[in-house]
Structure 1
Amino acid sequence: MKAGTNMKIAQKTVYVFVLLATTMVMRLAGNHIVSVTIGNSSVLTCPIQGQISMLIWKITPKVGGLCTLVYRTDTNMTHKTNCSDNMNWTFSADLAPALEIQQVGIAQEGNYSCEVASTEGNFHTTYHLTVLAPPRLSLYCDEQGSPVCEAAAGKPPAQLSWLPESSSSTEEKCHDNGTVTVLSKFTACSTNGTNVTTCVVSHPAGNWSQSIACCSSEKTNFFLYACIICVLIITTLLAVIYCFKLHSDRLCHKTKPPEIAPIHSQQDDTMEVEPYTTYVQKENVIYNSVSDLTVRQNLPQDLCPET
């Protein structure tokens, strides 16, 4: 048991010693961490001593293959292999050679190593370039009326907090390009009469805050309930009136008396027929008189009847 404990202590001691040694070597080798916001430019210098004969930049990005830039003083020429067009290598008489990266993108993140051979010896400097992507902040109210704060596509992930402080739930969504979207939901409304909440976003590229009012107050709830009740009452009254009118129309239809045809008396028919009869009789008398006269004129005198 004691031997096992001593073994664990020895392992931890060796681990700490290796860690300290690695940190010391990195400092002596001139390792530096450089952070740049996406879209900006970054300049990396390569310190030299004495007269240089050769300078080499070796770039190992997280995306893509190895990029090398070589300069030789004997030929006064530079050579670039597998490097992007936004990398410019400049020289100046009073300044150390500088590597400028214009409009830095996430693809440029990685290690940049500078090796120099001069009359004073060989020198080595390494930069670890970290690209910062500021998140896109949005603040809105969800369907339940709770404030939701979203810091989209940030690198590294943003830190979200609320004012006033209260309980909240946070979730993260990682993207293929290395950025992370952080979503925080404010789960409690203020009870002191103020419903304004503020989302505070902390990020290495900057800090932001935005406020919103989502949770409804008691007065708003009362007004909403009153409107709902009024709508229900009006709907009920209209339904009752419609049913009453429909029932009344049915009763009136059932109690309507049958239509009675008008009664014509025989006397009326006789009065309507008598003028026509008299007219016909007169016509007949006239016709008979005319006929007798015509016959007498056409007969011979011998055959004419005696009058």
Structure 2
Amino acid sequence: MVCPWRTSDLWLLLILTVFLVAVNTSLTVLMGTKAVLCCHPIPLTNVVLITWEIIPRDRPICKISYKGGTNEITKNNCTDERITWASRPDVNPGLQIHPVALSHDGYYRCQMAASNGNFDHGYRLQVSVCPEVTLSPVKNRTAVCKAVAGKPAAQVSWAPVGDCVTEQEHWDNGTVTVWSTCRWPDSNVSAVTCSVSHLCGNKSLSQNLLPG
């Protein structure tokens, strides 16, 4: 992903007197992929200072700054090498996270001080994790379907519908394991299908029941 940055598209901003423009965006990104966060699209010739403020869920605040004119880059309390400029900040000051990890959950804000005002673009970043799905038959015409360590929690459904109990276990890293235990007392049911729905996509598994 590349942040759009064409001065010709933004010439109207040059005739505006703006004190503050603030935008907030909610963004969900799959763990292990690359995320690029863009600043407010203004002509960089007007920019005096660009600062990315990074507020992770469970780590100290990090700040990365670029000064226009001197091309000086400073970092304050930033140790995660997976978080970098997406390009040269004087060309495109977007922030790149690669690869995205669970620890990157948090709030990211690009603050731009320019000759014609201040421009903020914030991102509430949520990291999504695909669950591992299993289906196991047990005795007495019962089966257990698990969606292990997903984020957010997965949804589990059955076909045909049985007598089911669904439970969840929340882990310290923010992932959730969901398991559903179902029983089919009707002897006419010989095979069942568990369907798991998640932001990562849907998955279905089928299994024959063990005789009770």
- What band does the TM-score fall into relative to the shorter chain? 0.7 to 0.9
Do the aligned partners of 2:168 and 2:176 also contact (CA within 8 Å) in 1? yes
Letter in 2 for 1:33: S
- Matched pairs, number: 189
Do the aligned partners of 2:39 and 2:121 also contact (CA within 8 Å) in 1? yes
Aligned to 2:42: 49
Do the aligned partners of 2:154 and 2:197 also contact (CA within 8 Å) in 1? yes
Runs of 5+ unmatched residues, structure 2 = 1-20
Aligned to 2:130: 134
Do the aligned partners of 1:47 and 1:96 also contact (CA within 8 Å) in 2? no
CA distance in 2 between partners of 1:207 and 1:119 (Å): 49
CA distance in 2 between partners of 1:184 and 1:153 (Å): 14
TM-score by length of 1: 0.58
CA distance in 2 between partners of 1:105 and 1:124 (Å): 25
The structure whose residues are more often strand, as a share, is 2
Q: Give CA deviations for 1:21-66 in whole Å, capped at 9, x if unaligned.
A: xxxxxxx731101111111110001024241110000010002100
Q: 2:182 aligns with which of 186, 201, 216?
A: 186
CA distance in 2 between partners of 1:93 and 1:109 (Å): 23
Q: Give CA deviations for 1:250-278 in whole Å, capped at 9, x if unaligned.
A: xxxxxxxxxxxxxxxxxxxxxxxxxxxxx
When structure 1 is superposed on structure 2, of 105-114 and 75-84 the one drifting more is 75-84
Aligned to 2:114: 118
Shift of 1:81: 2.1
Q: 1:98 aligns with which of 94, 100, 110?
A: 94
Do the aligned partners of 2:150 and 2:176 also contact (CA within 8 Å) in 1? yes
Larger Rg: 1
Q: Give CA deviations for 1:133-192 in whole Å, capped at 9, x if unaligned.
A: 11111110224341100101011110000011233100111111111110101122454x
Name the CA shift for 1:210/1:121 in 2 (closer, same or farther; >3 Å). Answer: same
Aligned to 2:33: 40
CA distance in 2 between partners of 1:93 and 1:174 (Å): 40
SS at match of 2:103: helix
Could you list the structure 1 runs, at least 4 aligned residues long, displaced by more than 4 angstroms after superposition: 92-95
Q: Is 1:162 aligned to 2:158, yes or no? A: yes
Map residues 168-179 of structure 1 onto 2, 5 A cutoff: 168-179=164-175
Runs of 5+ unmatched residues, structure 1 = 1-27, 222-307
Q: Is 1:150 aligned to 2:146, yes or no? A: yes
CA distance in 1 between partners of 2:41 and 2:180 (Å): 49
SS at match of 1:107: helix
Do the aligned partners of 2:83 and 2:96 also contact (CA within 8 Å) in 1? yes
Letter in 1 for 2:62: C
Indicate the percent of aligned positions where both proteins have the same amino acid: 35
Aligned to 1:258: none
Aligned to 2:13: none
Q: 2:54 aligns with which of 30, 37, 59?
A: 59
CA distance in 2 between partners of 1:171 and 1:145 (Å): 19
Q: 2:82 aligns with which of 79, 83, 86?
A: 86
Q: Give CA deviations for 1:95-133 in whole Å, capped at 9, x if unaligned.
A: 642100001111110000110011221001100000001
Q: Is 1:29 aligned to 2:25, yes or no? A: no
Aligned to 1:199: 194
Do the aligned partners of 1:172 and 1:182 also contact (CA within 8 Å) in 2? yes
CA distance in 2 between partners of 1:99 and 1:57 (Å): 8
Q: CA RMSD in A?
A: 1.9
The structure whose residues are more often helix, as a share, is 1
CA distance in 1 between partners of 2:116 and 2:183 (Å): 65
SS at match of 1:97: coil
TM-score by length of 2: 0.83
Aligned to 1:22: none
